[in-house]
Structure 1
């Protein structure tokens, strides 16, 4: 599964006025439900919240990766950047500024855990998060993510080859 195919400009929101975890998850659900004829935003919200109840999806450094398996034909993602951050149960107690939500079909769950690992290992980098948080345009943010997750540009690629 390739992170660069999960996002589109209409599923990226930069710095909207969101101050609660519930509202952040509602916003993510609305974006994930876009162009999904079989899903409602309410169903996506419920799936994300139910997964969150199993354990926090925050990884630290102001990042959360909410995710769920649902009846979607293709995996999809939504990226939400919140200016002041949202209080969540983060291991480092920092408010979450960057939410990368993912929906995958149940039959692709093994691929999805590999993707979560890749996202976590990349997005945990503090300088990278500061750079991402400086964007306020969805197109520019998408371009940055494509560049970031293209295998030849991936920050861990050199380390893994060495």
Structure 2
């Protein structure tokens, strides 16, 4: 499993600015929720799960990147990417403001099987200037293609 499997262009958003971490997590929850689908779950459930996980300890990687994640009653894992032109302040190890949030939800009871994926995401995404590069691309299709190439480079290395 890689970023292309988890992410789709309809779950990639570039925003000029959001006022807070709470607003960013609300946006991610909206992107990840499937209200009305057979495996549907509510926006609020996704938001609460992401916030609950964040309260256990920051999911910030540094370099302006945060990787919030949670387990929910979903049939498959999926991700949403939020890129911010104007950063937000979060509890990051390097004290840098956040421009990139990649949220991941995985099926309940299977979180441990996704640990290698989380580690891989952290390695591939934790690079200086990534958020800026992605924002410059601007289009979800281009962003997904670029992220895919980063994962392919890691696999080839």
- Common fold by TM > 0.5: yes
Do the aligned partners of residues 36 and 145 (structure 1) sit closer, same or farther apart at CA in structure 2, a change above 3 Å counting? farther
SS at match of 1:107: coil
Kept in 1, the 8 Å contact 2:28–2:81? The answer is yes
Task: For 1:131-150, list aligned pairs within 5 A.
Answer: 131-150=133-152
Give the structure 1 partner of residue 78 of structure 2.
76
2: CA distance, partners of 1:64 / 1:108: 21
Aligned residues: 155
Kept in 2, the 8 Å contact 1:3–1:115? The answer is no
Give the structure 2 partner of residue 33 of structure 1.
33
TM-score when normalising by structure 1: 0.88
Structure 1: 5+ residue stretches without partners: none
- What is the CA distance between 1:132 and its match in structure 2? 2.2
Kept in 2, the 8 Å contact 1:14–1:135? The answer is no
2:87 maps to 1:85: yes
Task: For 1:8-47, list aligned pairs within 5 A.
Answer: 8-34=8-34, 37=37, 38-47=40-49
**RMSD of aligned Cα (Å):** 1.6
Structure 2: 5+ residue stretches without partners: none
TM-score when normalising by structure 2: 0.91
